[in-house]
Amino acid sequence: MKNFYHKIREYIPIVPLVIFIFTIISAILYIIYINSVTFADFMNYNLSAPFRMIISFTTSIIPFSIAEMLILLSPLWIALLIYLAIKFGKMGKKQSIRYLCVLLSILCFIFIAYAWTYTSGYHNTPIEDKMELNRENIDKNELYDTSVIIIDNLNKLANEITYDENKASQMEYSYYTMSAKICDAYSEFVKKHPIIRTFWSNVKPLIISEPMTYTHLSGIYSFMTGEANVNVNYPDFIVATSSAHEMAHQRGVAREDEANFIAFAVLSGSDDAFLKYSAYLDVFSYVISDLRKADKELYKEAISSLDIRVREDYNSYVEFFQKYANSTASEVTDKINNSYLQANGQVSGTKSYAMVSELVCAYLLNRTK
């Protein structure tokens, strides 16, 4: 046994060896998540949350997105890896194997971070069960009633919103202030619904926001760096709701429809008029779209009462998006994201984003189990 250990150590450095062992443990954890909702709940709330909090707090000190920088510098990393592969390849079999072990250990470390900090959120108790919401069999009348509630709130809030020359709503404070306000809103939400752990964090505006818009991604959460990154090229109300969405991921809400819903529930409960307005305008598109599919007459009746300022604001967003609507980048991104979500148990894939309307209806209509 001792000779076997020394033989292994001859080819595999101690750090990669330790990482490989933790990878096996993490793989076992992953299997347990899939088969035990109770264990996934325990991990996501009690162990993964502190990890996410520590990582997020550590990286929040740095004003730019570390994850974005790693991506932008990826050509240099690739060139360096190729150079090292050639260098160690010339040094013989032993050094080549040791180099490959280091590369493999990097991939394993990413999996470990994913298993311990994030993936339990895909397999824990659904939000509707935690909040006792009945999202099943929402009918056209309930969609109409929900639309009326959303439109009434938008019409009232429109009086407190500033609109620019393009008739788009404006956020009149910095992204840092926005982050602080959203964190306050999360704190208030958790007091009423202690189903997630929250903490202070800040969203990070992406440098590549404009080109990223062609992928149709309005934000992205990096579990490796704990950063909630937001695409600031989008209209302000989308920036606000996307920030809250990515912060939901940061707090362990992994499923996309649930992250959309938590973002709405948190922002609609804020004492800031713009955040509340953004929450209602964002879900308006989902709910009103479902109502239009269910009953065109009820849709026309509901939409007829929408304040002209809100209508123009939404039309401004539609006009903005036309430039990015049809792009190869969005098709590729959608396929990758769809595969990723399905691999993590979200059968509907990217369609799950739109399923937020069911949760919003149940929440606003107080439709409990």
Higher pLDDT, 190 or 105: 190
> How many helices (H) and strands (E) are present in the chain, helices listed first?
18, 5
Q: Which string of DSSP letters, residue by residue, matches 94-111?
A: HHHHHHHHHHHHHHHHHH
pLDDT for 65-107, tens place per residue?
999 999 899 889 888 878 877 777 777 777 777 778 778 888 9
The domain ranges of the chain are 2-122, 127-364
pLDDT for 269-295, tens place per residue?
999 999 999 999 999 999 999 999 999
- Nearest CA to 185 among 106, 253, 255, 271? 271
List, in order, residues 6 or more apart from 108 with CB less than 8 Å away.
16, 19, 20, 22, 23
pLDDT for 332-369, tens place per residue?
787 777 776 677 777 666 666 668 999 999 999 998 87
Q: Identify the residue whose tokens are 């079999």.
A: 93
Please give the Cα distance from 294 to 291 (Å, whole number): 5
